[in-house]
Structure 1
Amino acid sequence: MRLLYKFTLLLSILVVLNSLAQFIVFDKIFISDTDALLLDINEQAANNVSMQLAENFKKIALSLKVIAADEKIRENQDTLDKINTVFSEVDVITILNRQGDILLISGNQYSPMVSNLSQREYFKQAIQGRTYISDVFTSARGFKVVSIAVPIIKNETIDGVVVGLVKLHGNSLASMFDNTLFGRNGYISILDRRGDIVYHPNKERIGQKAVIFDRLDGRKGSRILKDSSGSDQFVGYSKVPDLGWSVTINTPTADIIKNRNIMIYEILSLSIAGIFVIVLVGIYTARRYTEPLDQLVQAFNTLKDGNYKKIDSRSYEKEFHEIVHVYNKTVEKLEEVHNDLEEAADIDSLTGAYNRRAFENHFCILQQEISNCTVVSVGLCLLDIDHFKGLNDTSGHLAGDYILKRITEIMKSIAGEQAVFRFGGDEFAVILRDIRMKDY
């Protein structure tokens, strides 16, 4: 396969690998970060709503305490009805004596079908002097309701209870929030201590057990959970202070998956288009340039055989004239350098020491000198550098090259320029003539 065909194939493979890398990065990093960001946003929003809900219930309790403290309101039906008209957060206001008997009631379209409420948990808690907010329960008329009860204190004794009743399927609880939805498709849900739904934009869900309740650990948090329909949701949750209820912010993961798929399709489309363009450009380039490039490659191959022959640029397109000119200049330079290389063949290019070939030639001469008794004594040292491979692996080859050069300089300064030979790697030999033991 010709060079440009290989290059075209290489570029196509790189585009495919780049696309795969983008898919992996997008899935593992972008989606993960987006999930974490949305979960954090939902958790913070749930915490804000829980604080808002706590404040709203405190306002309701304070309003009921005002009624409990004013005997004129507690004993006048018209006044109580007027207050109930402007008290939009509560559907029914009931005044009870210390025995739990109903003395007055406003909003009696939702009133209980009994006259005594002493067995209700909210009465039992309030008659002990506590302000109490109940969990969801079903009234005698079949409504899902929540009650807020405050004690009536008269002459420093508990004289009865004021109860505010909130009908969950009505608009009273919904009026506590600015909106019923969170974001484009998310929503707010409120659960009581048992996990029963107190508030939900889908009123059919109110009073039912929340499927995610058992997964809400701690005072606040966030996670991906399945809702009652089996769909994955980003759920942020927070406990309402001093109440034990939970506020959840739920947004579907489907929107994120949809956006993710759109981006994946865009990346895939761009990758396919990129491969198509690369193939077209590669085919065109190969047809125009492959043949002259092959001829140039063949010409360069002849150089290794010592055939320093120039080529005629007139046989090539204009685009190749500069390459041909450089080739011909290279041939001229090679002819000049060839003889210099013959002379420099005995020198190690890195360290400047003599190489192994020079050592063998020098050793032959040395043997002849010993035979002729022209050399009295000879010293031969074979050296290598301890832990050199580890140095290369940890500090890199540039550091290793520096060490080789520096050691060569030291040996030359001690033994002389012509006495040091590099065998290869970190191995050296030093030949010393006419030495005496006491010198070393």
Structure 2
Amino acid sequence: MKFLYKLILVLGILIALSCFVQFVVFNKFFISNTNSLLLSTNEKASKDVSMQLMENFNKIQNLVKTVAENEEIRENQELLNKFNEIIPEVDAVTILNSKGDILRMYGNIHSPGVSNLAYRDYFREAIHGNTYISNVFKIASGTKVVVISVPIVKDGSIDGVVVGIVKLQGTSLASMFDNKEFGRSGYISILDSHGYVVYHPNKERIGKKSIIFDKLQGKSGSKIMKDYSGEEQFVGFSKIPNLNWYVTVITPTADIMTSRNIVVYETFLGSVIVGILIILLGIYTIKRYSKPLDNLIFSFNALKAGKYKKIDSHNYGEEFQEMVIVYNSTIERLEKEYNDLEEAADIDSLTGAYNRRAFNNFLSTLNEEISNCSLGSVGVLLLDIDHFKELNDTSGHLAGDNVLKKLAEIMKSTAGDRSVFRFGGDEFAVVIRNISDERLLSIAEAIRLKCEETLNGCTVSIGAAKFPKDTYSIDKLIDFADKALYISKKSRNKVTIFVK
């Protein structure tokens, strides 16, 4: 069973290690994949927003071009004011002549404070025939704006410029992006070609230089960067064609990490719970099977020690029943074979009587019974064949063996099979429990007479003693019977009862 406990210990360690490895690998794999997924998602979102923004600016350009192409609208202040309702994305429209002088304005923006804008980049670009979208700059009032300028073409030549002004902290851009959601805290940020913030949900950031601008390279991409707050963000970016502006979609890593950690730790906790359940199941299984197996091992050890003890099948589960049946059947067979071997070991091979080993064991049993006060009486006869040596010398050992066999048959038929013992040579003993003096003497005489008649000229001398009449000691009882035999041997063919 020690092996099983070691096995469950090793299994527990392996499960713990597998949970740890699974946690590390899954965490790394999960982080890598979620990072890649979020960055890819943000990059795609930035591309979608850049296209939307470009479409919006194209719409504004087309509307401003409408003003530039329609002299009636340009010349009529009332029509210009009505036109503001048509293009609410533009906060103000300014009409400039070919020299940059402001002819008229409409919209919800303050007066620029100057009458000529010829020095502005957007005027110079438009007066040369280009439609132009400016970077972020401040007008005289301090408002941060982006300007869309369109040339006025009259009779094949440029006659002026129409300027559409979009306030960055107004509602036109915000209306496009403030309703965009990217997770719980994700947001859009738009940067001009110099890195200044054109749009940000935090209005205080608009017009300020972005700290991630220098890290944005190429038409599009995604990176993990730190923003102005110093926290890491998932940043997807895309460049707006023809403007060199960047649209960035930013998602804080903290929010994602919180959700991701919940998933990771739930997975780890699930692995730990499964591991614990497996270990508990293993312990239960070992306990269920170890006790019956321990009992079986104990029984086998007892069997090795020579104790043939059957197992009670009621103490074992169904899965052990067949094993118990086989074991008990084996015990029965071994016990029978052992008894047969024991008996064979106690039998004299020539005469079939019990041998000296069996005699000594029997005497030990009698001594125990005397100690337990459970022995009533015992009679002992010691026998010796007269003239046995002369028979062997004259007729041979085969004739002597036949005499020994005949004597054993006579004693067993007279005193009983289990009462006859051969000491060795031509010496025998008869031990009978609970016998009277008269009966002991009668058996001795019957043996002597039958031997006299059938042993081919040989006779027997017999000495007799009895417990407890002669002694309370089994050893002395044998000694007293031997002394009585010595007396019978003097005259031969005689039975002598020991007398103190």
User: In which range does the TM-score fall when normalised by the shorter chain?
Assistant: 0.5 to 0.7
- 2:174 matched to which residue of 1? 174
Give how far 1:183 is off. Answer: 3.3
- 1:398 matched to which residue of 2? none
1:127 equivalent to 2:127? Answer yes
Q: Deviations over 1:295-354 (max 9, x none)?
A: 556889999x9x9x99845366234223445779999xxxxxxxxxxxxxxxxxxxxxxx
Distance 1:272 1:176 in 2: 48
- 1:362 matched to which residue of 2? none
Distance 1:322 1:92 in 2: 99
1:254 equivalent to 2:254? Answer yes
Distance 2:248 2:213 in 1: 10
- 2:82 matched to which residue of 1? 82
Matched-pair contact (CA < 8 Å) for 1:237–1:248: yes
- State the secondary structure of the residue aligned to 1:72: helix
- State the secondary structure of the residue aligned to 1:165: strand
- 2:110 matched to which residue of 1? 110
- State the secondary structure of the residue aligned to 1:185: coil
Structure ranking higher on relative contact order (CA contacts 8 Å, 6+ apart): 1
TM-score of the superposition, structure 2-length normalised? 0.60
- 1:50 matched to which residue of 2? 50
* Residues 40 and 264 of structure 1, relative CA distance in 2, 3 Å threshold: closer
When the two chains are superposed, the root-mean-square deviation of aligned CA atoms in Å is 3.1
Distance 1:102 1:20 in 2: 73
Matched-pair contact (CA < 8 Å) for 1:145–1:166: yes
Distance 1:302 1:294 in 2: 12
Give how far 1:195 is off. Answer: 0.6
- 2:222 matched to which residue of 1? 222
- 2:204 matched to which residue of 1? 204
Distance 2:325 2:253 in 1: 64
Q: 1:256-405 counterparts in 2 under 5 A?
A: 256-274=256-274, 276-278=276-278, 280-294=280-294, 296=296, 312-314=310-312, 317-319=316-318, 320-324=320-324
Matched-pair contact (CA < 8 Å) for 1:180–1:201: no
1:148 equivalent to 2:158? Answer no
- 1:161 matched to which residue of 2? 161
Give how far 1:7 is off. Answer: 3.3
Give how far 1:287 is off. Answer: 4.4
Give how far 1:110 is off. Answer: 2.5
Q: Deviations over 1:136-185 (max 9, x none)?
A: 00111001100000000000000000000000000011233472433332
Distance 2:326 2:130 in 1: 99
Matched-pair contact (CA < 8 Å) for 2:91–2:109: no
Q: Deviations over 1:247-275 (max 9, x none)?
A: 01111111221122212332343345445
In terms of Rg, which structure is larger? 2
* Residues 330 and 116 of structure 1, relative CA distance in 2, 3 Å threshold: farther
- 2:237 matched to which residue of 1? 237
Q: Deviations over 1:77-118 (max 9, x none)?
A: 111111113311110100000110000100254231111101
- State the secondary structure of the residue aligned to 1:182: coil
Distance 1:47 1:90 in 2: 24
Tell me which moved more, 309-318 or 174-183: 309-318
Matched-pair contact (CA < 8 Å) for 2:40–2:222: yes
Matched-pair contact (CA < 8 Å) for 2:67–2:162: yes
- State the secondary structure of the residue aligned to 2:25: helix
Distance 1:330 1:187 in 2: 83
* Residues 109 and 264 of structure 1, relative CA distance in 2, 3 Å threshold: closer
Distance 2:329 2:124 in 1: 107
- State the secondary structure of the residue aligned to 1:181: coil
* Residues 93 and 329 of structure 1, relative CA distance in 2, 3 Å threshold: farther
Distance 2:190 2:242 in 1: 15
- 1:93 matched to which residue of 2? 93
| Runs ≥4 residues deviating over 4 A | 274-288, 295-303, 309-313, 324-331
Give how far 1:12 is off. Answer: 2.1
Q: Deviations over 1:50-94 (max 9, x none)?
A: 111111111111111110011111111111111113311110100
Give how far 1:126 is off. Answer: 0.6
Q: Deviations over 1:184-239 (max 9, x none)?
A: 32111100001100001111100011111111111001111111101111111100
Task: Could you tell me which runs of 5 or more consecutive residues in structure 2 were left unpaired when the two chains were aligned.
Answer: 332-500
Q: 1:12-91 counterparts in 2 under 5 A?
A: 12-91=12-91
Percent of aligned pairs sharing the same letter: 57
Distance 1:151 1:220 in 2: 32
* Residues 310 and 274 of structure 1, relative CA distance in 2, 3 Å threshold: farther
Distance 1:21 1:198 in 2: 47
Distance 1:243 1:131 in 2: 11
| Amino acid paired to 2:53 | L
Distance 2:22 2:330 in 1: 44
| Amino acid paired to 1:239 | K
TM-score of the superposition, structure 1-length normalised? 0.68
Give how far 1:9 is off. Answer: 1.8
Distance 1:235 1:302 in 2: 78
| Amino acid paired to 1:70 | N
Distance 2:327 2:121 in 1: 101
Matched-pair contact (CA < 8 Å) for 1:92–1:111: no
Aligned residues: 330
* Residues 323 and 101 of structure 1, relative CA distance in 2, 3 Å threshold: farther
